[in-house]
Amino acid sequence: MDAFRILTGGTRLDKKRFQADVAHFEAPKADPVASTSTALPSELDFFGATAGDGAVGSAEDRKAKKKERKWKRAEEAAGADSAASTPADYPALLRRHKIKLTGLDLPDPVASVDDVVRRRRAVGGDTAAEGAEVLAQNWKSLGLKDPTGVQMAAWGTMLAGRDVLACAPTGSGKTFSFIYPLLALLSPSSASPDDSVIRPQAVIIEPTRELAVQVLRETRRLAGGGGWKAAVLGEEGVGLAKGKGKEGKKGKGKKGKKEKKQAGEADAEEVPAAQVDAPEPAEDGASGAEAYKVPIDILITTPLRLVFAIKSGAVSLSTTSHLILDEADKLFELNFLEQTDEILAACAKDRPAEAGEIRKGMFSATMPSSVEELAKGVMAGAGSGMVRAIVGHKEAATSTIDQTLSFVNTEDHKLLSLRSMIQGGQFTPPVLVFVQSIQRAKELANELVFDGINADAIHADRTPQERDELVRKFAAGQVWCLICTDVMARGVDFKGVKLVINYDFPQSAMSYIHRIGRTGRAGKAGRAVTFFTKADAGHLKTIVNVMRQSGCTVPDWMLALPNPSQDAKKALKMRPLGRKDISKTLGSGNAGDEGGAKREKSKKRERIMGGKRGVFKKGKKGEEGKADKASESKGERPAKRAKREVALDE
Ligand SMILES: Nc1ncnc2c1ncn2[C@@H]1O[C@H](COP(=O)(O)OP(=O)(O)OP(=O)(O)O)[C@@H](O)[C@H]1O
């Protein structure tokens, strides 16, 4: 017991133990005049706060920068038409950014957006370089400077026409790492008047609707003025299935609906087909499929939606040149595997020889080796084979996050601990709080609202519109504290989240890495506090291992804790620990109150929540919402959950 209390002290970076890492990652020595942003590790210092000739850094850092400057000068001297630069310096770049490339005949990483222009020009002259020039211009106008490590590796690999499997920390810019080279490689396509089928040049698969929309937004930021068309596949995109196009009226629409019923998706909510350089419905009133006569260069979608669209004949992937699986490890889990397989099969089906082999890219912050094996099987065929790019440690969290484990004894003490964090000024909004079920999210939100905290809960029980609205409010600072289930753990790029609290202990190392990765993004500092009770203690080592990999120091006795067995890990992943309802714990409005006071409190709570509910209109849940809900309810449905089990080597 006492031993656990020691854990509440949190963690600190053991500079002596991780000397080598510190040399790479640690910020320049404290400079009384410098701004706080100089505390960023150099490879994540996207905005160049530590760059420039006057930057102070470790000897190794200075040496690497000197080499890089020399290499850049040599590259400039090599002239605009040269695709290559001094190859001898690429290894230094890889070392500096902690990029580990494996594969045959490895392509050089890309050092800058101008390097992309040069490479495209070397391949196909001015015409091929046109898109890259637009992108470079947009990149600079966005105030972005050097590409990040994963961008350097993925850009180089994709521009060289190779398949890539990339694993890099949360918030390290993986989205641009595939969007940028895709756009650079694709010329905007022109409409084919009799083509009522969407034949995208590239397809990006995301596990949730929110991520698909977010990726579209990021594409928009880069693509302006280039003539590319990108869209999120929505009900409109499967317009045939809704009977909006001529063919749809004749039957494909019905088929689409039937398929939805079979898949248990009768309530599928229409996702507005958000568009870049939007193809507007034709003026004669045609919509749906008619509208999509306009070609789509990049189609962003969730797996299920794409599978429906392929089956209904609205989308064909037989000429698609690039397929990106974002959050790839998630897409290879059992609940997505079948759909991912169908999509891969659709890329090969009826593929004309002139379309060539489809190029693939897989990206994630976590990549268990069992999943990697599956992925490799899919990518093995390409040219000299795929390139594997790992940035930093594979099973580590982002080094800019200060991670703390906090012992709270029992469920009864969690709410009290949270309150004491709030009262002690350690609760620095915007804050994300993760719990293990929808019910607990609702209960905790009730408690915090009752305490006067500007909090709300986001989970798969809310409609897509409600989720969008909450995300917007959180981003705008109107909601300070968002209580989430694991649905929000992956990929979501909230700017400036300062603190993540794991109110409920995460069910796996992967869940932990993704959850806490909502803070400490793009080189910014962040904090993560994980509550654990006596009941969670058997799984503590799983998180300790991640903390150690991330460069945090942990007491020796804690390192000596036994690892949970593989069976115990699987069991926890399948089903969270049973926990006392938050509303029944000590310190909740419902517990420990007497008579009238209790009734008064619960009336007040009802009033607050009643008002809150009024903010949102009831609506249908989206397909992803349903899938998310199923996975959020894991604890209550062990039989269904068992089907989701996937061998993970965490
Ligand atoms: N080269 C860059 N310079 C500056 N900012 C960048 C750069 N690349 C990406 N960013 C910004 O960094 C943030 C995080 O990027 P992104 O969402 O792509 O991270 P990620 O690696 O995909 O994270 P996750 O694993 O959590 O999905 C975004 O706000 C993005 O705009």
- Identify the CA nearest to 529 among candidates 496, 563, 561, 504: 504
| pLDDT above 90 coverage of the chain, percent | 43
The pLDDT of residue 374: 85
How many other CB atoms are found less than 10 A from the CB of residue 259?
A: 15
Residue 185, token pair as written in the block: 């490689």
Residue 119 pLDDT greater than 80, yes or no: yes
How far is the C-alpha of 282 from the C-alpha of 273, rounded, in Å?
A: 15
pLDDT, position 194: 58
pLDDT number for residue 63: 54
- Statement: residue 331 has pLDDT above 80: yes
pLDDT of 390 > 60? The answer is yes
CA angle 58, 397, 56 (to 5 degrees): 15
Using most ligand atoms within 8 A of CB, pick from 155, 493, 514 the residue to mutate for ligand 1: 493
pLDDT in tens, 204-242: 999 998 899 999 999 999 999 999 999 999 754 433 222
User: Hey, which of 56-60, 104-108, 195-199 has the most confident mean pLDDT?
Assistant: 104-108
The answer, yes or no, to whether residue 286 has pLDDT greater than 80, is no
Atom of ligand 1 nearest to the CA of 218: 31
- Measured in Å, residue 81 CA sits from the centre of ligand 1 at 30
Residue 93 pLDDT greater than 50, yes or no: yes
- Using the predicted structure, report yes or no on whether residue 335 has a pLDDT greater than 80: yes
Q: Look at 623 and 645; give whichever has higher pLDDT.
A: 623
Give residue 491 CA to ligand 1 midpoint distance, Å: 10
- The torsion defined by the Cα of 290, 293, 295 and 300, in degrees rounded to 10, comes to 30
User: Which residue is closest in CA terms to ligand 1's atom 16?
Assistant: 173
Measured from CB, residues less than 6 Å from any atom of ligand 1 are: 46, 144, 147-148, 151, 170-176, 365, 491, 493, 517, 521-522
pLDDT of 452 strictly over 70:
yes
Q: How far apart are CA 192 and CA 189, in angstroms?
A: 9
Asked if residue 482 lies in contact with residue 435, where contact means CB atoms within 8 angstroms, the answer is no
Residue 345: both structure tokens together: 């099969």
Ligand 1 atom, smallest distance to 148 CA: 1
* pLDDT of 401 over the 90 cut: yes
Mean pLDDT of the chain: 74
Ligand 1 centroid to residue 142 C-alpha, Å: 13
56 vs 591, which has greater pLDDT? 591
> What type of residue is 296?
I
In whole angstroms, what separates CA 493 from the centre of its chain? 7
- State the virtual CA torsion across 638, 644, 646, 648 in degrees, nearest 10: -70
Residue of 571 and 589 predicted with greater confidence: 571
Question: What pLDDT, on the 0 to 100 scale, is given for residue 158?
Answer: 96
* Position 114, amino acid: D
For a substitution probing ligand 1, which of 99, 139, 174 has the most ligand atoms within 8 Å of its CB?
Answer: 174
Among 37, 40, 45, 46, residue to substitute to test ligand 1 (most atoms within 8 Å of Cβ): 46
Q: What is the mean pLDDT of residues 339-363?
A: 92
pLDDT average, residue stretch 605-617: 44
**Which of 43, 115, 138, 176, when mutated, tests ligand 1's pocket best, judged by the most ligand atoms within 8 Å of its CB?**
176
Report the atom number in ligand 1 closest to the C-alpha of 495: 29
When mean pLDDT is compared across 85-94, 333-342, 445-454, the lowest value belongs to 85-94
Residue-wise pLDDT for 409-421, tens only, equals 888 889 999 998 8
In angstroms, what is the span from residue 176 Cα to ligand 1's centroid? 7
For the cut 80, the answer to whether the pLDDT of residue 473 exceeds it is yes
ipTM of the complex: 0.99
What is the C-alpha separation between 180 and 445, in angstroms, rounded? 39
Residue closest via CA to ligand 1's atom 14 equals: 171
3-state SS assignment for residue 151: helix
Tokens 């089903």: give the residue. Answer: 575
How far does residue 366's CA lie from ligand 1's centre (Å)?
Answer: 16
Domain residue limits, the chain: 15-83, 401-646
What are 318's two structure tokens?
Answer: 């037989």
CA of 177 to the centre of ligand 1 (A): 9
Ligand 1 midpoint to CA 517 (Å): 11
- Looking from the CA of residue 168, the nearest atom of ligand 1 is 21
Q: What phi, psi does 323 have (nearest 5°)?
A: -125, 125
Q: How far apart are CA 491 and CA 431, in angstroms?
A: 16
Atom of ligand 1 nearest to the CA of 211: 27
Among 40-44, 245-249, 457-461, the range with the most confident prediction by mean pLDDT is: 457-461
CB 499 within 8 A of CB 527: yes
Distant-in-sequence, close-in-space partners of 93: CB < 8 Å, separation ≥ 6: 68, 71, 99, 109, 111, 152
526 CA from centroid of ligand 1 (Å) = 15
pLDDT, position 471? 87
Considering only CA atoms, which residue is closest to atom 30 of ligand 1? 173
The rounded distance, in Å, linking the Cα atoms of 13 and 25 is 11
In the reported structure, the alpha carbon of residue 600 is separated from the centroid of ligand 1 by a whole-number distance in angstroms of 47
CA of 215 to the centre of ligand 1 (A): 11
Structure tokens at 461: 């029980």
Residue with tokens 């400039």: 76
Residue 255, sorted as left (phi over 0), alpha (psi -120 to 50) or beta, turns out to be alpha
With left for phi above 0 and alpha for psi between -120 and 50, is residue 606 left, alpha or beta? Answer: alpha
Amino acid at 279: P
- CA of residue 174 to ligand 1 center, whole Å: 6
Instruction: Please give the C-alpha separations between residue 166 and each of 29, 88, 155, 229, in angstroms, as whole numbers.
Output: 31, 23, 11, 25
Q: How many CA atoms lie within 13 A of 167 on its CB side?
A: 24
- 225-229, 333-337, 448-452, 501-505 — most confident range: 501-505
* Cα 101 to averaged position of ligand 1 atoms, centre (Å): 20
**CA 618 and chain centroid, separation:** 28
Which residues does residue 506 pair with via DSSP β-bridges, in sequence order? none
For residue 169, the CA-to-ligand 1 centroid distance in Å is: 10
Predicted pLDDT at 215: 96
Rounded mean pLDDT, 262-291: 32
What residue owns the CA closest to ligand 1's atom 15?
173
Higher pLDDT among residues 29 and 464, named by residue: 464
Count of beta carbons in the 10 Å neighbourhood of residue 140: 12
Whose Cα sits closest to atom 5 in ligand 1?
Answer: 46
Mean pLDDT of 296-323: 94
Task: Report the phi/psi class of residue 520: left, alpha or beta, with left for phi > 0 and alpha for psi in -120 to 50.
Answer: left
Q: Can you tell me the mean pLDDT for 515-530?
A: 93
Q: Does the pLDDT value for residue 632 go beyond 60?
A: no
Whether the pLDDT of residue 48 is over 60: the answer is: no
362-375 pLDDT per residue, tens:
999 999 988 888 88
Provide mean pLDDT across the span 152-170.
95
- Residue 30: is its pLDDT beyond 60? no
Burial call 371-385: b when 16+ CB within 10 Å, e when fewer = bbebbbebbeebeeb
CA of 445 to the centre of ligand 1 (A): 29
Question: What would the pLDDT profile of 65-83 be if each residue is shown by its tens digit?
Answer: 555 555 455 444 444 334 4
**Mean local confidence (pLDDT), 490-512:** 93
15 Cβ contact partners less than 8 Å away, ≥ 6 residues apart: 22, 26
pLDDT bracket for residue 586 (50, 70, 90) = low
What pLDDT, on a 0 to 100 scale, did the predictor assign at position 197? Answer: 87
Quick check: 569 pLDDT over 60?
A: yes
Dist. CA 206 → ligand 1 center (Å): 16
State which of 217, 220, 487, 521 you would mutate to test the pocket of ligand 1, scoring each by most atoms of that ligand within 8 A of its C-beta.
Answer: 521
CATH class of 401-646: alpha beta
Ligand 1 atom closest to Cα of residue 491: 27
Pick from 163-167, 321-325, 611-615: least confident: 611-615
Q: How far is the CA of 63 from the centre of ligand 1 (A)?
A: 27
Q: In sequence order, which residues have a C-beta less than 8 Å from that of residue 572 and are 6 or more positions away?
A: 507, 508, 539, 564
Give tens-digit pLDDT for 240-250: 222 233 333 33
Nearest-CA residue for ligand 1 atom 8 is 173
Q: What is the pLDDT of residue 59?
A: 53
Segment 285-298 mean pLDDT: 56
Atom 13 of ligand 1: nearest residue by CA position: 522
Determine phi and psi for 552, rounding to 5 degrees. -80, 150
Give me the count of residues in the chain: 650
Measured by CA distance, the residue closest to atom 10 of ligand 1 is 173
- Higher pLDDT residue, 29 or 66? 66
Q: How confident is the model at residue 628 (pLDDT cuts 50, 70, 90)?
A: very low
